[in-house]
Structure formats: C-alpha cells, structure tokens
C-alpha cells in the first residue's frame, strides 16, 4: 500500500507524463561534449551521491537477484563516479567505461586509481558514433546523462543494440525536460543552490536539452526496442530498463 506521500508523488509524475505533449517546452540542444577543464573539475568535486547511488538502487530493482560477474559497458561515464559505485556493488564484473571528453576521463582515472579499482575498470576515450568500441558483447550496459547531449538519440540506442547479446541487461537514466524555463530554474534552485555557478549553468542547460518520457518512448519504438520500458523516477529523472 502506498503511503500518502508516495501516492501524491506517483500521481504528480503520472499527471506530468500524461500532459507533457501539450505542456513541455521545445528542446534546446547543448554541446555534445563537456570538456572544459573547469567543468570537469567541478563535476569531479561535486557531490552526486544521492542520484548516483540511486542509479545503483534502480539497477538492482530492475534486475533483482542478478549476479553481475561479466563484462559491463558504461556509456558516457564522465568522471566515473557511477562507474566506481557500480564496481564496488558488483566486485566480480569488469567495466569498460567510455566518454568523449578527455578532461572528464582524466579526473575519472584519478578517482579510479584512488579507489584502487584500476584492475576492474578500464576508461577509454570514445566519441560516438565516430569512434568504435571493441567488437564484443556485454552482460550489462549502463548509461547516465548521455542521451540529452545527443542531438541524434539513435546513436545511443544503436550502440546498445550493437553491443548487446541475448539477456544483456540495460539501464539508462537521464534528465527529464521540464514544462518551462521557469520550471527548470526552480529545479536548479532546489537541487543545485549551493553548487558552483558552472554546475548551476550546466544543470539548467541540460534540463532544457533533455528529452521527455514521451519522446524517449518514440525513440525506443523507432529502434524496435519494445522490450525496454521508460518511466519517470523523480521530478527530474527518467529511466529506461530492459533485457535484450
């Protein structure tokens, strides 16, 4: 049974999803790469423990009881915070984590080395779709906050299909575009009020560049990924989860 708070949150999410087609503002793309050194440093030093640890929780909820002991692909790993958390929760897997931003990967490598996970995690600079990944399949494919950087979303879904095998588990999480610029500013004020200006700026522009739940549903339908389901999981995030 849902408590009153959970019911209210669920109702709010469902109402937002059902009405998004008529209320969401037009998407405003942002640069595909976040590779300024100042940006990378700000992201590496920021505390993303709540949403990033929730990513791990959502993965475990989507695939209960799954023993991850094979190869994992992390698309758009940034400074590798989720990569490291995933490795700690699943210590018997091997992770290839890729990103197109060299400065982000530099900070990520420092974090991997500090966590003494360099034997479990390999970071690689890859700019999709120009660069190619190792031609292999993975037990799990994960991605956080990559899609909203892509003006051609099929790049992500095609990469997932290319490197999946039968029974590959997939979890993608990203921001959900709010209904207006003022709503985006409210989210920045609520969740990033104490963060550096560069993080506030990037969070705001990322919200404007994000895709809605309905748009992601259309993307999955176009790519025939009908086994994947998208749902909102907060007032600013959605996830796609499924087994190939």
Whole-number pLDDT of residue 5? 28
- Supply angle C-alpha 62, 20, 154, rounded to 5: 60
**DSSP assigned state of 224:** T
Give Cβ neighbours of residue 34 (< 8 Å, ≥ 6 apart). 40, 43, 78, 101, 104, 149, 202
Higher pLDDT, 24 or 244: 244
State how far the Cα of 103 lies from the Cα of 79, in Å rounded to an integer: 9
CATH numbers and ranges of domains, the chain? 4-243 (3.40.50.150)
Whole-number pLDDT of residue 8? 33
* Mean pLDDT for all residues in the chain: 88
User: How do residues 116-156 score in pLDDT, each as one tens digit?
Assistant: 999 999 999 999 988 888 879 999 999 999 999 998 999 99
User: How do residues 15-54 score in pLDDT, each as one tens digit?
Assistant: 444 445 445 689 999 876 665 777 777 777 777 888 899 9
Higher pLDDT, 165 or 49: 165
Whole-number pLDDT of residue 22? 43
Whole-number pLDDT of residue 38? 77
Q: What is the dihedral of CA 182, 186, 189, 191, to 10 degrees?
A: -130
User: How do residues 176-232 score in pLDDT, each as one tens digit?
Assistant: 999 999 999 999 999 999 889 999 999 999 999 999 999 999 999 999 999 999 999
User: How do residues 54-86 score in pLDDT, each as one tens digit?
Assistant: 999 999 999 999 999 999 999 999 999 999 999
Sign of CA dihedral 85, 89, 92, 98: negative
Assess whether pLDDT exceeds 70 at residue 4: no
User: How do residues 87-97 score in pLDDT, each as one tens digit?
Assistant: 999 999 999 99
Mean pLDDT of 157-186: 96
Whole-number pLDDT of residue 33? 63
State how far the Cα of 231 lies from the Cα of 213, in Å rounded to an integer: 7
């Amino acid at each position: 049974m849902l408590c009153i708070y959970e019911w209210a949150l669920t109702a709010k999410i469902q109402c937002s999803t059902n009405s998004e087609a008529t209320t969401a503002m037009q998407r405003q793309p942002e640069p595909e790469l976040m590779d300024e050194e100042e940006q990378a440093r700000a992201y590496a030093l920021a505390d993303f423990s709540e949403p990033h640890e929730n990513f791990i929780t959502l993965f475990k909820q989507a695939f209960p009881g799954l023993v991850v002991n094979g190869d994992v692909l992390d698309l758009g790993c940034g400074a590798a915070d989720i990569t490291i958390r995933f490795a700690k929760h699943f210590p018997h897997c091997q992770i290839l984590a890729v990103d197109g931003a060299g400065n982000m990967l530099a900070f990520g490598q420092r974090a991997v080395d500090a966590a003494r996970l360099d034997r479990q995690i390999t970071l690689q600079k890859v700019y999709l779709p120009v660069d190619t990944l190792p031609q292999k399949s993975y037990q799990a494919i994960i991605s956080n906050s990559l899609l909203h950087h892509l003006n051609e979303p099929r790049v992500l879904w095609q990469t997932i299909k290319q490197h999946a095998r039968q029974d590959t588990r997939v979890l993608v999480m990203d921001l959900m575009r709010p209904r207006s610029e003022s709503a985006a500013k409210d989210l920045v004020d609520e969740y990033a009020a104490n963060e550096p200006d560069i993080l506030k700026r990037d969070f705001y522009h990322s919200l404007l560049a994000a895709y809605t739940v309905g748009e992601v549903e259309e993307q999955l339908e176009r790519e025939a990924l009908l086994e994947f389901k998208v749902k909102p999981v907060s007032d600013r995030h959605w996830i796609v989860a499924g087994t190939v």
